Structure formats: structure tokens, C-alpha cells
Amino acid sequence: MPRVIVHRTAQSCADAYFIVRAVLYLDSKRVMDDTPMRFLGLVLRTLFLIVVVAVTARVATPQNESLWTAYDTPADLFRIILGATVCIFVAFQIFRYSRNPADMRNWVPIGLAVVPLAVICAVVIW
């Protein structure tokens, strides 16, 4: 008799565990109306990446020369090539955003903190 009670208790605990897991899984898959937060996160992320591209392009330009005389100085040529590579990579990242709503919601507090700082940095550098 005690063996049957232990078996049923273990089985009911296992059943409760799987029921809780199923409820949590279904709760995580529940469609919430967070479209404004996703859109705000997408806008803030895009603005930040655009500012990063602009700052990188500005920093990558030659210091005392025009773009056409940059071939005379190897350091300026390297700066232009590296800056163009970074600008292309970051610009490509603008169009490769995550489809996960949680990722876009994470960009809201990050973007609210970083976008004003990036704009200030761009104004100072320009």
C-alpha cells in the first residue's frame, strides 16, 4: 500500500510540473498588444544606427586633405577604407533587425539613453 501512495504522489507532482510548464509556455506565446513599444524600439534603434553611421563617416574623412588626395598619405587612406567598411556594416545592420518583440522592447530604454548622447556626440564632432 505505501508503494502505491508514493507512486501516485510522484505522478501527481510530475503532472503538476508539466501543467505549470505548459501554462508558462502558453503565457509566453500569448499575443500582447505591444506594437507601440516595438515601433518605438525600432525607431530608436534606427536613429542610433544612423547617427553612428554619420559620426563614423565624419571621423573617417581625411583631416587636412580632400578625398582625392588621400592616396598620398597611407594613414588617411587606411582611415577612409576602415571608415567605409564600418559604415557599410552598420548601415547593413539597420535593415537586419530582430523579429522578436522582446528584442525591440529592449531597445526602448537603451535608445532613450543612448540616442541623445549619440546626437550630442555628433554635434560636437561636426
Q: Which residues, at least 6 apart from 91, have a Cβ–Cβ distance to it below 8 Å?
A: 49, 53
CA–CA gap between residue 84 and residue 8 (Å, rounded): 67
**Per-residue cell: 95:** 535593415
Listed in sequence order, the DSSP H helices in the chain are 2-28, 35-60, 74-94, 101-125
pTM here?
0.68
Q: Which residues, at least 6 apart from 38, have a Cβ–Cβ distance to it below 8 Å?
A: 101, 104, 105
Please write the tens of the pLDDT for every residue from 27-81: 455 555 578 888 899 999 999 999 999 999 999 887 776 666 666 777 888 888 9
Domain ranges of the chain: 1-30, 32-125
Burial bucket for residue 100 (CB in 10 Å: 0-12, 13-18, 19+): exposed
Q: What is the pLDDT of residue 24?
A: 53
CA–CA gap between residue 45 and residue 48 (Å, rounded): 5
